[in-house]
Structure 1
Amino acid sequence: MLSKLCTHNKVVGMKQVRKAVINNEADIVYIAKDAKDKVVSDIENICKEKLIDIVYVDTMKELGSSCGIDVSAATAAILK
């Protein structure tokens, strides 16, 4: 499932993912399990309201690497 992050249009980071979810542009949202709850809870709630699938990734480092960036990421989203 993470392989899609390499090949599809995506956004990375809290602000960009939140904006994509609110604007109905996100197809799938990825959230790192080790991200702080207070950081990702807002995005989780919006995704549940809008019935957007959430995929949980073990670590922020793994998510960042899967997105092709050199830093950790709490969230990412594949765009429609």
Structure 2
Amino acid sequence: MSVENHTPFPALAFRQYNMAGDMMGVVVARGTFKLTKDGPLRLADEQYPLVMSDTYEGDPHETPQVACTDLAPFKPGTDITWTP
């Protein structure tokens, strides 16, 4: 599988089996934007990289989760997070 990314966003394409056992193509992309007062979202100068695994403050068994992976097995929607 080959995907050409013509966007400024970090992206990754891979193959995965769905719950029925069929092979499917998955494309994951992450866009970073700036909020403006009383205006539209603006593309951020720096695009944050994809999060490849869940991230914790320290020991995953003892500390809070800071970020979820962008590589979810099934995600029928979109996540929007805010970072101050």
TM-score, with structure 2 as normaliser: 0.20
Q: Which one has a larger percent helix, Structure 1 or Structure 2? A: 1
Q: If you compute each CA radius of gyration, which structure gives the higher value, 1 or 2? A: 2
TM-score, with structure 1 as normaliser: 0.21
The higher relative CO (CA closer than 8 Å, separation ≥ 6) is in: 1
